[in-house]
């Protein structure tokens, strides 16, 4: 009977859906296992073959865990808010919800046809009001809490208000940005607006003026990864840096806990390093520099090297620093304004990448070195970022490469203050680069001279503290997250404004639904799209916030909602959270290392502080799948002509390689007529043939529509079947590595499944007990596949299946019991064919709920081996010998062999050397 994979796969998918085969509930009698894929954004293009890589891997692992007796939660949903749907709405007028609905339907159809075992009863979108109600609910808790550094956890803001009422600000242990002090009497005399401005310095969700990437054409703030070279990635519109009032989350309050928590996680060291670097813990000192002509105004800097303070020869402020405007002299103003305008067109990421080409402008003002009293020029430079440290640096060009480059560019002085041990100071004018010393002796530094770097850091901090001009401090690179966007398609922020004061809505007002608007673009006055809504007011008539939440809001706690998606009284019920606890295996891309993975860990720790979840960390084990790259094809046009030569002739003349749709190419041979039909440009083109065909060139590149190398999984499933696609994607290589897609190689996997089908339904399968040879093949395969799945080495598992089938076929027969266990092993990888063959063999129950087989070490030890026999050290023949025999037994067996007598040719045996279970050497 033919292997009709189309009929088989559709039938089993329908049956499993009808049975709710993957539906799961809390079951305290069984161990839990929670497998999760990173939330996909449902784009209009649907999936290409690179997208399912992680989904297939997680599905294999989920099925494996079920077969091992675990109660497995494996849900799927959609991160549905986002700019693409909104831009489409602006262009067409179609509501983003309708676009999203269509895209989700397309995604789900593609995911279902792959046979992925998701519990679809838990499906939701972040744009569902029943879901974003809880995103809004968490936001209100963030607004209502602050971080207490003594308790090392979040506490209600009302507690801080009570402290201020009794003690004022002195002695409070709240993490925040308050730069002034007040008494209890002053607090009690504050107006409601003054109190709120003070509390905003401590709330975990707060409003603040911050620098953002503003795109006028899109009418919204963009994240750094949405901007390149001063324009938006979507549409290529100009983007500038602008100071705007935005909602923010005080993620920085949790920096130390986020850092320490990494030590408890089963994440790759490379990913942990990315997060450590992003959090960026630095130990050093805060130093206050006075400014000449500006009494009472200090320029605060943070440095990890206070020992080099004597070597400061200039200061540099970030272009966004609040003092730039007030300390720039009239003579420098025009040049400064022009510079700030240029810098505003570049993102912080771009500025960081180009530190070797420093730019800057002198403010005209001077700071005062707190240790030497000397005047230091204050510059503005774009390599200093407003959000890192204090947004200002003390420049020590002799010992920092960026400062050295800046000093050389603008002819600023360089003073050496650190010497390598055993060396003498030299003239920095002769240096080609800075001496970035990690160890050495301090020189040219007054009372610090002769001290080691470590001793000088400690002594410098003591001096600064004694003078009231600074002291030791720990700081972090991690910045608070901007939490508002001037867009329509996002979660409304549940805040109204009473007399201009941000006021939280009641829980009973949630979800605050997106309103109807007449257009999805900003108003003529530049206000966000929600300002277009009629009566956009709270129940009491107060104006509502018109910004919406950013894209990461909905994905920050979705893993918790999957535990209990239909709960109406909480984000997740205590019963469900206590059972599922955390995600045991999380699979997704490295691009989320410093975004989603930071924010979701922050949200989880906050909810843990409130006692709403039982685990401090959300994702126990995290694996980043590699990328499936596209295999592009090229045709080669001879420059200045409409003539195309094959790849073999492409370097013999001057040609231009042109991408061609891979769907028009098979085994690198171009379908010329199909190309002509698809593009009139090639109607009259001349194609030079070799052996009657045009052979294309190829290259491995990122899979992209612009390179015409996107492979649609639908066409692969239709041609080869879902099981073939699943196994082939795993067969391509290790999960965590990037690898090229090559449709030419899929035939091998398809032929393997077809051979499995034919073999299982052939006369080779017999009832009765398995032979020892079968059991050795089976148990070797069980061990290889089990260990392979545990370490996510799925490519090796597929190889093991192929080897096992070859060996079983060589045995000229196989017991049904052996094949039954083999089908259980194959089921996670190719569930449809496994289920069909299970049924055709008349086996009881379902292969989905069978028990995972265990291997027996006894069958992994070979009973015999091919023993080589040498004469005077030269190997002459080999024979099959039982393992474990002693030397005397082996000697007797070998000497009795006809081949031995033939090679002895009557010569006497002087000695027989036996290396047990290895080799025999006859000395004659």
In this structure, are 351 and 467 located in the same domain? Answer: yes
Please indicate, yes or no, if residue 264 is contained in any of the structural domains: no
Q: Using CA atoms, how far apart are residues 198 and 177, in angstroms rounded to an integer?
A: 9
Distances (CA, A) of 469 to 145, 306, 317, 787: 32, 12, 19, 61
Summarize pLDDT for 569-617 with one digit per residue, the tens: 999 999 999 999 999 999 998 888 889 999 999 999 999 999 999 999 9
Q: Can you give the pLDDT at residue 83?
A: 80
The angle that helices 722-731 and 52-67 make with each other, rounded to 10 degrees, is 100
Distances (CA, A) of 623 to 57, 563, 592: 10, 21, 12
- 582: domain CATH number is 3.40.50.620
Distances (CA, A) of 618 to 30, 261, 584, 596, 781: 21, 11, 9, 12, 35
Cβ neighbors of 229 (< 8 A, separation 6 or more) are 350
Least confident of 85-89, 216-220, 325-329: 216-220
705 is in an annotated binding site: yes
Answer whether 548's CB lies under 8 Å from 493's CB.
Answer: yes
Task: Indicate the pLDDT class of residue 431, thresholds 50, 70 and 90.
Answer: very high
Question: How is residue 853 annotated by DSSP?
Answer: P
In this structure, are 425 and 532 located in the same domain? Answer: no
Least confident of 23-27, 73-77, 360-364, 479-483: 479-483
E-only strand ranges, 250-374: 281-291, 298-303, 314-317, 360-368
In this structure, are 75 and 12 located in the same domain? Answer: yes
Task: Indicate the pLDDT class of residue 240, thresholds 50, 70 and 90.
Answer: confident
In this structure, are 294 and 439 located in the same domain? Answer: yes
In this structure, are 87 and 182 located in the same domain? Answer: no
> Which H or E element spans position 876?
strand 874-882
On the CB side of 781, how many CA atoms lie within 13 Å of its CA? 27
Task: Indicate the pLDDT class of residue 106, thresholds 50, 70 and 90.
Answer: very high
Q: Using CA atoms, how far apart are residues 307 and 455, in angstroms rounded to an integer?
A: 9
Provide the token pair at 163: 């402290």
- 222 phi and psi angles, rounded to 5 deg: -115, 145
Mean pLDDT, residues 6-26 taken together: 97
Q: Using CA atoms, how far apart are residues 121 and 640, in angstroms rounded to an integer?
A: 60
Instruction: Please state the domain count of the chain.
Output: 6
In this structure, are 428 and 341 located in the same domain? Answer: yes
Please indicate, yes or no, if residue 265 is contained in any of the structural domains: no
Above pLDDT 90, what percent of the chain? 78
What value, to the nearest 5°, has the Cα angle with vertex 53 and ends 591 and 46? 80
Cβ neighbors of 902 (< 8 A, separation 6 or more) are none
Q: Can you give the pLDDT at residue 225?
A: 65
Least confident of 205-219, 526-540, 685-699, 716-730: 205-219
Q: Can you give the pLDDT at residue 354?
A: 66
Please indicate, yes or no, if residue 133 is contained in any of the structural domains: no
Please indicate, yes or no, if residue 272 is contained in any of the structural domains: no
Summarize pLDDT for 803-833 with one digit per residue, the tens: 999 999 999 889 999 999 999 999 999 999 9
- pLDDT tops 70 at residue 355: no
Mean pLDDT, residues 212-237 taken together: 76
Least confident of 434-438, 623-627, 692-696, 822-826: 434-438
Q: Using CA atoms, how far apart are residues 789 and 61, in angstroms rounded to an integer?
A: 7
> Which H or E element spans position 32?
strand 32-37
The angle that helices 772-790 and 794-810 make with each other, rounded to 10 degrees, is 170
The reported pTM is 0.85
Q: Can you give the pLDDT at residue 812?
A: 81
Q: Is 504 exposed, middle or buried (CB count within 10 Å of its CB: 0-12, 13-18, 19+)?
A: middle
Q: Can you give the pLDDT at residue 243?
A: 80
Structural domain ending residue among the three candidates 711, 731, 751: 711
Helix (H) and strand (E) counts in the chain: 28, 37
Please indicate, yes or no, if residue 268 is contained in any of the structural domains: no
In this structure, are 532 and 616 located in the same domain? Answer: no
Least confident of 20-24, 317-321, 371-375, 699-703: 699-703
DSSP character string of 544-570: BP--B--TTSTTSSHHHHHHSTT-SSS
Q: Can you give the pLDDT at residue 874?
A: 93
Q: Can you give the pLDDT at residue 494?
A: 98
Mean pLDDT, residues 903-919 taken together: 92
Q: Using CA atoms, how far apart are residues 721 and 114, in angstroms rounded to an integer?
A: 8
Answer whether 850's CB lies under 8 Å from 824's CB.
Answer: yes
In this structure, are 657 and 732 located in the same domain? Answer: no
Least confident of 184-188, 212-216, 726-730: 212-216
Q: Can you give the pLDDT at residue 105?
A: 94
Mean pLDDT, residues 508-526 taken together: 92
Mean pLDDT, residues 715-732 taken together: 95
Question: How is residue 117 annotated by DSSP?
Answer: -
In this structure, are 372 and 395 located in the same domain? Answer: yes
Structural domain ending residue among the three candidates 476, 500, 518: 476
Which of these, 179, 180, 172, lies nearest to 149 by C-alpha position? 172
Q: Using CA atoms, how far apart are residues 913 and 284, in angstroms rounded to an integer?
A: 71
Average pLDDT in the chain: 93
In this structure, are 95 and 205 located in the same domain? Answer: no
Q: Is 5 exposed, middle or buried (CB count within 10 Å of its CB: 0-12, 13-18, 19+)?
A: buried
Mean pLDDT, residues 893-902 taken together: 91
- 395: domain CATH number is 3.90.740.10
Q: Using CA atoms, how far apart are residues 692 and 540, in angstroms rounded to an integer?
A: 80
- pLDDT tops 90 at residue 90: no
Cβ neighbors of 723 (< 8 A, separation 6 or more) are 5, 9, 115, 753, 829, 830, 831, 832, 833
Please indicate, yes or no, if residue 1 is contained in any of the structural domains: no
Which of these, 200, 148, 214, lies nearest to 480 by C-alpha position? 200
Peptide bond into 511 cis (omega under 30): yes
> Which H or E element spans position 496?
strand 495-498
Please indicate, yes or no, if residue 273 is contained in any of the structural domains: no
What value, to the nearest 5°, has the Cα angle with vertex 506 and ends 500 and 511? 105
Q: Can you give the pLDDT at residue 710?
A: 87
- 102 phi and psi angles, rounded to 5 deg: -65, -45
- 33 phi and psi angles, rounded to 5 deg: -150, 125
Answer whether 234's CB lies under 8 Å from 226's CB.
Answer: yes
Above pLDDT 70, what percent of the chain? 99
Judged by DSSP in three states, 88 sits in helix
Task: Indicate the pLDDT class of residue 89, thresholds 50, 70 and 90.
Answer: confident
Answer whether 201's CB lies under 8 Å from 223's CB.
Answer: no
- pLDDT tops 80 at residue 856: yes
Task: Indicate the pLDDT class of residue 883, thresholds 50, 70 and 90.
Answer: confident
Task: Indicate the pLDDT class of residue 218, thresholds 50, 70 and 90.
Answer: confident
- 903: domain CATH number is 3.10.20.590
Please indicate, yes or no, if residue 497 is contained in any of the structural domains: yes
Q: Can you give the pLDDT at residue 480?
A: 93
Summarize pLDDT for 131-153 with one digit per residue, the tens: 999 999 999 999 999 999 999 99
Q: Can you give the pLDDT at residue 742?
A: 79
Provide the token pair at 902: 């033939």
In this structure, are 302 and 441 located in the same domain? Answer: yes
Residue 445, Cβ neighbours under 10 Å: how many?
23
Cβ neighbors of 195 (< 8 A, separation 6 or more) are 161, 187
Structural domain ending residue among the three candidates 677, 711, 745: 711
Q: Can you give the pLDDT at residue 47?
A: 86
Provide the token pair at 314: 């200039």
Q: Can you give the pLDDT at residue 361?
A: 97
Provide the token pair at 667: 């085994």
In this structure, are 346 and 361 located in the same domain? Answer: yes
- pLDDT tops 80 at residue 352: no
Greater pLDDT, 823 or 738: 823
Question: How is residue 849 annotated by DSSP?
Answer: G
Answer whether 127's CB lies under 8 Å from 31's CB.
Answer: no
Mean pLDDT, residues 843-864 taken together: 91
Which structural domain, as residue segments, surrounds residue 571?
Answer: 6-124+553-624
Q: Using CA atoms, how far apart are residues 610 and 138, in angstroms rounded to an integer?
A: 11
């Amino acid at each position: 009977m033919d292997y009709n994979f189309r009929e088989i796969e559709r039938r089993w998918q329908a049956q499993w859906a009808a049975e709710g085969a993957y539906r799961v509930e809390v079951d305290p009698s069984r161990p839990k296992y929670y497998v999760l894929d990173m939330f996909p954004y449902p784009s209009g293009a649907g999936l290409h073959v690179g997208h399912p890589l992680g989904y297939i891997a997680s599905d294999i692992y989920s099925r494996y865990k079920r077969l091992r007796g675990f109660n497995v939660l494996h849900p799927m949903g959609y991160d549905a808010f986002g700019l693409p749907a909104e831009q489409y709405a602006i262009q067409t007028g179609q509501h983003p919800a309708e676009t999203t609905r269509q895209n989700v339907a397309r995604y789900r159809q593609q995911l279902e046809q792959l046979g992925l075992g998701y519990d679809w009863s838990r499906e939701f979108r972040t744009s569902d009001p029943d879901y974003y109600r809880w995103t809004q609910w968490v936001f209100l808790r963030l607004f209502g809490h602050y971080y207490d550094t003594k308790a090392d956890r979040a506490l209600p803001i009302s507690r801080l208000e009570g402290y201020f009422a009794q003690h004022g600000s002195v002695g409070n242990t709240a993490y925040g940005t308050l730069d002034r002090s007040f008494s209890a009497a002053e607090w009690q005399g504050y107006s409601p607006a003054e109190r709120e401005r003070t509390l905003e310095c401590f709330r975990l969700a707060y409003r603040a003026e911050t620098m953002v990437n503003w795109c006028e054409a899109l009418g919204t703030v963009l994240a750094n990864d949405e901007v390149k070279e001063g324009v938006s990635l979507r549409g290529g519109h100009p983007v500038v840096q602008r100071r705007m009032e935005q909602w923010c989350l005080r993620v920085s309050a949790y920096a130390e806990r986020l850092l320490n928590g990494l030590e408890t996680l089963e994440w790759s060291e490379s990913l942990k390093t990315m997060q450590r670097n992003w959090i960026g813990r630095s130990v050093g000192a805060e130093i206050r520099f006075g400014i000449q002509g500006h009494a009472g105004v200090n320029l605060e800097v943070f440095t990890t090297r206070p020992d080099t303070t004597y070597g400061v020869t200039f200061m540099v402020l970030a272009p966004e620093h609040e003092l730039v405007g007030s300390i720039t002299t009239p003579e420098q103003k025009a040049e400064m304004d022009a510079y700030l305008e240029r810098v505003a067109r570049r993102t912080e990421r771009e500025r960081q990448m180009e530190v070797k080409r420093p730019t800057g402008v002198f403010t005209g003002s001077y700071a005062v070195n707190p240790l030497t009293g000397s005047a230091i020029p204050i510059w503005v430079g774009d390599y200093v970022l407003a959000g890192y440290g204090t947004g200002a640096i003390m420049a020590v060009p002799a010992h920092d490469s960026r400062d050295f480059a800046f000093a050389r560019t603008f002819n600023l002085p360089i003073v050496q203050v650190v010497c390598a041990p055993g060396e003498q100071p030299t003239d920095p004018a002769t240096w080609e680069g800075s001496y970035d010393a990690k160890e050495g002796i301090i020189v040219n530094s007054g009372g610090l001279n002769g001290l080691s770097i470590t001793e000088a850091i400690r002594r410098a901090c003591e001096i600064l503290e004694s003078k009231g001009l600074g002291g030791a401090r720990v700081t972090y690179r991690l910045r608070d997250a901007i939490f508002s966007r001037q867009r329509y398609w996002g979660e409304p922020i549940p805040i109204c404004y009473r007399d201009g004061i941000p006021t939280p809505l009641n829980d009973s007002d949630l979800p605050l639904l997106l309103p109807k608007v007449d257009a999805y673009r900003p108003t003529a006055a530049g206000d966000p799209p929600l300002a277009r809504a009629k009566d956009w007011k709270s129940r009491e008539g107060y104006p509502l916030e018109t910004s919406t939440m950013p894209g990461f809001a909905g994905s920050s706690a979705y893993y918790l909602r999957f535990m209990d998606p239909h709960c109406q009284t909480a984000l997740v019920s205590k019963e469900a959270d206590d059972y599922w606890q955390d995600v045991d295996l999380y699979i997704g891309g490295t691009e989320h290392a410093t975004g989603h993975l930071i924010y979701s860990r922050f949200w989880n720790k906050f909810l843990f502080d409130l006692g709403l979840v039982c685990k401090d960390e959300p994702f126990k084990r995290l694996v980043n799948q590699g990328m499936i790259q596209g295999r592009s094809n090229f045709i080669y046009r001879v420059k200045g002509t409409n003539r195309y030569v094959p790849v073999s002739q492409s370097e013999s003349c001057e040609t231009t390689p042109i991408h061609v749709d891979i769907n028009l190419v098979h085994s690198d041979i171009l379908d010329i007529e199909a190309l002509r039909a698809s593009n009139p440009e090639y109607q009259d083109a001349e194609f030079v043939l070799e052996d009657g065909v045009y052979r294309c060139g190829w290259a491995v590149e990122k899979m992209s529509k612009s390179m015409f190398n996107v492979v649609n999984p639908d066409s692969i499933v239709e041609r080869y079947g879902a099981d073939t696609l699943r196994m082939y994607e795993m067969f391509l290589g290790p999960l965590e590595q990037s690898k090229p897609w090559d449709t030419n190689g899929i035939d091998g996997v398809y032929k393997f499944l077809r051979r499995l089908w034919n073999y299982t339904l052939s006369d080779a399968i017999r009832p009765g007990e398995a032979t020892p040879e079968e059991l050795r093949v089976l148990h070797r395969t069980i061990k290889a596949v089990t260990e392979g799945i545990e370490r996510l080495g799925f490519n090796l598992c597929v190889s093991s299946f192929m080897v096992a089938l070859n060996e079983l076929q060589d045995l000229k027969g196989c017991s049904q019991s052996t094949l039954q266990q083999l089908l259980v092993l194959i089921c996670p990888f190719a569930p449809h064919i496994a289920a069909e063959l299970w049924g055709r063999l008349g086996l009881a129950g379902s292969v989905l709920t069978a028990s995972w087989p265990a291997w027996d070490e006894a069958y992994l030890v070979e009973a015999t081996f091919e023993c080589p026999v040498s004469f005077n050290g030269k190997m002459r023949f080999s024979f099959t010998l039982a393992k474990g025999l002693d030397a005397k037994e082996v000697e007797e067996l070998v000497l009795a062999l006809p081949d031995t007598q033939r090679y002895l040719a009557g010569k006497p045996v002087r000695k027989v050397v036996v290396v047990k279970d290895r080799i025999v050497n006859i000395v004659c």
